[in-house]
Structure formats: structure tokens, C-alpha cells
A and B are shown apart, each in its own frame.
Chain A
Amino acid sequence: MKEIKFILNGKEVSVEADPLKRLLDVLREDKRMTGVKEGCGEGECGACSVLMNGVLVNSCMIPLGAVEEAEIVTPEGIRETEKGKLIIDAFGDAGAVQCGFCTPGMMMATEALLTINKTPEEEEIREALSGNLCRCTGYDLIVKGVQIASERGKDLW
């Protein structure tokens, strides 16, 4: 057991746990942030995507010990922000959401992409989403959702 301090959605937090505990479990169990989903537990599907120091990561692959002093952002951390609301609305208008299990992770991937590339081409969007699997949509309408977010969010990112 070790006390690990990090920034979670803008607030300093401290968690006392096994440093090898998966960040995914810390977020879901200790912090009750269930917007972070477990799809595979092996870094393949992206349902557990969070931002770590601004970079998109799979929280199932990150041990708690590795987030000491890091800044972690979960779906709960962006869904109420202007950017988060815009992505959610864009996904809604595009028809990007079906079963929804992958969607919070897709929102995180979109936020990560638009932060470094405000006006991505379709191929760049597909590349940016390629670590996030979806079994329902075939991706077309998620890509459209990112395009709508990019158009509407020119001044935000």
C-alpha cells in the first residue's frame, strides 16, 4: 500500500492503494467514476480511455504508481465543460451513439485529437479513433460526429 497523489479532473487527490492497482480500478472503484468503462482489460479497445498529462491512454494499462503527480482527466472531467458539451452534442446530432459503451472513450479520443489538430481530415480522424473499438456503428457516424465537433468548435480548441 502506498499513498499516491495526482490531479484528477483538476482536483488534487490522494489514493492509498497497491501501486500496481490499475488506474481503471482506482477510477471506477475508489472514485466511482463509471464513465470509464472496462471493455477488455488489456489495452486493446479504448473503452477505458482517459487523458494523462493531455495524452490519450488506456487506464487499464496504467498502474496507479505511474500517475504520481500526473494530471488525469476522465469523461466526468470534460462532460460538463464547453468542449465536452460540444462533443456530446455533435455525437448526438451525428447519430454517433448506439449502445454507448465505447462512446465516453470516443469522446476522450476526440478531445485529444482536436487539442492537437483543430481541423482534422477524415483519414486523420480515423487514425485518431483507431485505438477505440466500436462494434455497433461501423465508425462512420462517429467520424461524422468528430467532423461536426471540429466545425462547431473552431474557436474552442
Chain B
Amino acid sequence: MGAKISIPVRRIDAKEKAGGWAKYIGDYEFDNLQHGRFLRSERARAKIIEIKKPVFPEGYYYVDASDIPSSGKNNIQMIKDDWRVFAVDEVRYIGETIAIILGPDKQKVLDLLNEIEIIYEDLIPAFTFDDALACKGGAVHGTDNIFAEYLLNVGNTDNAFKNADKIIEGKYETGFQEHLYMETQGLVGTWEDGKITMYASAQCPFYIRKSVAGTLGVPLGDIRVRQVTTGGAFGGKEHFPDVIATPLAVAVNKIKKPISMIYDRIEDISFTCKRHPSKITIKTGLDKDNNIIAMEIDTLVNGGAYESSTPIVLQRAILHGLGVYNIPNARILGRAVATNTFPSDAYRGFGAPQGLFAIEMHMSHIADELGLDTSDFKRKHFIKTNDITITNSKMHDDVKLEEMFAKIDEMSDYSSKVKKYANDPVKGIGIAFVNHGGGFTGNGEQVVIQGVVKMKRLDDGKAGLYVSVVEMGQGLQTTMRKIAAGELGLSIEDVVYDNPDTDIVPDSGPTCASRSIMVVGFLVQECAKKLKAKWEEGVGTEATHQYVHPEEFVWEQETLQGDAYPAYGWGINVVEVEYDPVTFEVKTEGVWAVWDVGVAIDETIMQGQSSGGIIQALGYASIEKCELKNGAFMQHTMADYTIPTSLDFPKVETVFIDNPYKYGPSGAKGAGELVFDAAPPAYAEAVQNAIGKRIYDIPVTPEMIMEALNK
């Protein structure tokens, strides 16, 4: 770590958060606040025959689709608008919003909710991939239950398979994952100055504005969204707040009073989006010298009942389908299916963890089958600078995987432990290599987002920073200030960066896709340069800067050809485990990470991202089981959906290498999702080496280990 900007500073929000001064959505006081609760579908797929309601006392309301103004639409404007604000006539998944019950007393609202009886006529639901592909009960979406289907091709895969000396296949599955941000979902909608204002725990204030304006049929400027301090998000507060904000806005529009809609934990686990489950089949052809000459991948993700961002998640899953490997002939089919499960949506990694888990496990299974050392086999196939990618472009990055491998081998003693544990009855070690494309896929930044940032000289030598990306725990309040302050020669305290308010900040795009630092941070750096150049014009001087797409990155969205991402973060994780042959419980003995994130904007903040991302990923790989029963999640509480505690995993040993990216602020690349990607396959590989049986699915539970050993 050589860069000056990497030197850690104390986070600007540390004190107010640690001491409990910071106000989250549930901590604000509003005069005359009404409390709302959703009436939700209890059936996965059914016609609504009748809704029997009690008499509502004065001041209590039942708000549904009939309250949407005639100018508006009962559709949530996301990427598509198939998801309905309120279900009408029929329901598609358990938990679908039917109405809001609201009033001044929380308990009375709950009592009213309990008195409502819905008469359904059940239809035949589809829950599994097989159900979806067979259109069980008739298509949930379109005519074939396919939200999106893509085919990627490089080389001549059919020919290459014909010349293959051996062919190895595997099928890999991953489950739902709940975000479990510590602060549940929550918004308060108010009527202020003749205008709806949403106070939101959220990642994307402009997404909420767009969806609410669309539902009510009013101009965007008629809706104001103010992000408040957000207690974790991880993708769960990217699009999902739209699902709360749109019916809430209909209710506020109706009664013109402030209404809070804050989930309790049971609602949050039961009725919010999860990570897409996946089922990925990989077939690989090898020549006589054990070089991979062909690969065919079939990727399925379960999008649930509505589309949301599922096609983009699928794109990322297949665009990361070959992992960090140079496969000259490859074909990847990706399909996202519709089912009658709760819609799946964004979760840190956005499809990449599913694709990377499959390819990493498959590579280890090939090595095992051929009696080769896993890391040697993987390293032999590393993609290098200028190699052809799955989208028929060149890898532009300076790939430093070998240097990184040398580093992690030294830190973890991986190579010698592999040999030492080969015949050990209970110990195992695993390694995974990943990359993660920063920013929106393809030309999304150029065509869809077109982000703008603004800066202004304020009184007392301060500068105002106006961006729509939010602090949600990842450190943006500090890192953005560091970038701006560095250019302007100010202290970070002299850069003012409030939680975004859509009436004040320009739309710099959403807080997602590992884009905030790499893309928006670069805009901030360029904008700060502009402001510096005219600083002497005095207080009030402004500068704006809009995204300009670097010409060397070319993308064709219709065919998914070209440069899928301008730059990748790269990473290696090693995980060491020991399992108990009596209880089949696994104890993790060591976790190591080496990352290339370009340049870390703050080394301590990045350490926090590394440890946090890895532990969240190790939860996904081991204990975070989220299952469906008749279309409902079986886990509802933090007692039955468990996440890692401070005792479950040891300290993560992390090292960053510098590899500056020329269009990143001070050379920084995306990092927030990368840190999630490598731990699941590294953990699963460690467990399979410990137990001597292959692992194909996560989470790897003790029950799964017992079954594998009994086979």
C-alpha cells in the first residue's frame, strides 16, 4: 500500500454512530404520525375472491389499488414495471402487498389487520426450477416463465468438444440468502408543502423518486426523497424500498398525513427479497495434457414472481461464469425463471457469487478427478492481459494473480498445508480466485445512468459535495470526502456531504454495483479539480461533472459483446478448516485474503470491507440456510436464520496490492462486492478436502456433510 490516500483516517461518522446520536428512520419524531402495516397475501398463487373487512373506526384507513390516482399506475417503475404496487384480483407470491392498514395507534392497526379475512381460490403454484421450466400451473410470467435468456459464445465450442480427450461435468447449487442488515426496512412518507416527501433507509433515493412518481402519475420533481442514516443494506435496500414506498405514497396522497412503514424483524426476514438461488451445470473438455479446451455452462437463477433486477443479475452471473480463467472455446446459456416465490433481487455480488462458486468448485473437481493439485491446475488456466474474454473482447486489466498467489501462499502457508492435510482425517484447506467487474455492466453507466455530481464553494473555506450515492455503512461519507478534500487541499471535515436529498443533489446514480468509488468517486475527483480551478471566484462558485465513457471500452448491449466491465477487482481467499467426525460441525481455523482493488481509498475502511464481506460470505457458505415450504420462507427470526457471531470465524488476515486503474479516483476500482465472492468456494473446497468428498452445493451444513460421508 503505497498511495497517500490509502493512509487511514477516523471515519467521519464513527462518533455519532458509536455513541447512539445518529438518527435512523425509527429514531425521528413526526407530528401526528400514523402507523401503517401491509395486508399481505397468504397464498403463493390464488385468485382473490373476497376481502372481508371489519368496520374501520374514524381515523383508520384501508388503502389499496383503488386509491391510486387516475393519472397513476398500479405498477412499480423499476427496470421493468411488472411488479404491482397492490395485488388486485389475484396474488403471485406469499407476502405480496394487497393493502395498507393505517391509523394513529399501532396496536389498533394490528387488531384491524387480524380481523380482515381474505377468501382465496387457490391456483397451482410453481416453486422450483423444474416447475418453472415446465410452466406448472401455467406461466407466471409471459408464456414461458423466462424473464431473460442470454447466450454467450467464444471460439468454437462444439468443435473443441469433439477434439476433447476427456469430458468432466458437475452441477452446482446455491440457496437464498437474507441480507439481514441490522436495521430493518423502513420509510416514513410525509405531506410537506403540498408535496410527498419520503424519508428512507435506502441505497438509491432516485429509484424511489422514480417509482413513486410513476405510481402517482406526477412529475419527478413533485416527489422528494431524503435518505436518512441507513443501518446496512447489502443490496436489500436497492430496489426493495420502492416496493414499500409506492403503496405508502398512495396512502400519504390519500390522507395527507405522515405515515411510518417500518418492518419488524419477522416481517423483514419473511417478506423481503433474497439473493437469487442458482443451479449451474458445467461441462468441460480437456486435451491429453489436461488443458481445458472447451466449456459449456448452463446457468439458471430463480427470479421469483416479478422481474425486478433479475435479468441484470443473470447477466452478471454469466459474465463472471468463466471466473478468472482463459477458456478459448466456451458457451454459456443463462436463463432467469419466474416462480411463485418472493421476488429475488440485488444482494452484494449481484449474481457473480453464484457464477464464481460454480466455476471455482468445478475447477477443483476437475483437478481432483485428474489427480492434479488444485491451485496448480487453476493457475495454469489464469486469464492474462489481452486474452480473449467470453464477450469476445480483450482483458484490459493488468492481471496480477500470480503475484497475489505468491503473497497469499506466504501468508497462509497454503502449498505446504495442502500436502500436509492430504491424508489428514479432519483438516482441509481451500483456495479460490475471483474477479469482479466494477460499475454497471457494459454501457450502463454511459446509456442508463449518465451520472452527474456537483460541488460548491461554501463559507469558511468549506466545500459542498452533492452526490446521490449514500453512506450505508461502507464508509462513503469518509472516502468521498477524502477524494474531494485531497484535490481541493482541504481537511475532510471541511467537505460537507449530507445524506442525499433528491431536491438538492443531482442524480449521480444508485449506490450499487461497486460503482460508488470507482465511477462516482472519479466524477467527484474530476469535479473537485474543476472547482479548484475556479475556487477564487468566491463563495457560491459551483462546478458539475458528468460521466464520460472512456472510448477504449466498447459494448453492444443487444448481443452482450465487447467490454463487459472497464476494470475488475481481483481476489484470492484461502480458508482452513477442521471438521468434527462425530457431530460433522466445521471449525474454521484460518482465513486469508489478498485483494487488488486498484488503490484503497482508505486502508482501514477496506480492511472493514474485507473482513465484513468475507464473514457475510462464510455465513452464506455454511450456516445461512433459507428454505421454502409451499412458497413461504421457513426461517422468520434471527434465531432460525442465523448469521455469524464474533465466535464463529477467526480473524481475517488481509493484504491489498496496488494496481491503479486510470479512470478510478487515485486509481481505485470497485471493491464492495468483490470481497464477498471468493470465500464461499474457498470454504467449500476446504471442507471437501477435510472430509474427502466433493461439495457441490452451499450452504455446507453438518447434515450435508453427514450425507456426503454416508454415500
Q: Chain A residues in contact with chain B, CB under 8 A?
A: 28, 32-42, 44-45, 47, 74-76, 79, 84, 87-89, 91-104, 106-107, 122, 125-127, 129-143
Contacts and interface: CB of A to CB of B under 8 A. Distances in A.
Nearest to B649: A138
B18 A135 contact: no
B690 interface: no
Contact of B646 (A38, A136, A142): A142
A98 B646 contact: no
B608 A141 contact: yes
A8 to B, nearest CB: 15
A35 B19 contact: yes
Contact of B18 (A32, A74, A88): A88
A138 B614 contact: yes
Nearest to B19: A79
B17 interface: yes
B138 interface: no
B647 A130 contact: yes
Contact of A141 (B24, B183, B607): B607
A136 B651 contact: no
Contacts of B475: 98
The 3 closest A-B pairs by CB, nearest first: A35-B20, A100-B17, A99-B473
B290 interface: no
A126 B611 CA distance: 15
Contacts of A91: 14, 18
Interface string B578-607: 000000000000000000000000001101
B406 interface: no
B20 A141 contact: no
Contacts of A138: 608, 610-616, 644, 649, 652
Given A129-B646, A136-B608, A40 B21 contact: no
Contacts of A134: 182, 646
Contacts of B181: 99, 101, 135
Contacts of A36: 20
Interface residues of B, number: 59
A140 B651 contact: yes
Nearest to A34: B27
A101 B608 contact: no
Given A40-B637, A141-B611, A143-B651, A87 B18 contact: yes
Contact of B608 (A41, A79, A98, A107): A98
Contact of A126 (B21, B179, B184, B646): B646
B13 A95 contact: no
A70 B474 CA distance: 38
Contact of A99 (B27, B472, B645): B472
A37 B23 CA distance: 10
B11 interface: yes
Contacts of A95: 8, 11, 604-605, 607-608
Interface in B643-695: 643-647, 649, 651-652
Interface stretch (B58-66, B228-236, B317-325): B228-236
A34 B644 CA distance: 26
A100 B18 contact: yes
B180 interface: yes
A36 B22 CA distance: 11
A100 B475 CA distance: 11
Contacts of B611: 137-141
A107 B19 CA distance: 8
A88 B337 CA distance: 48
Interface in B450-497: 472-475
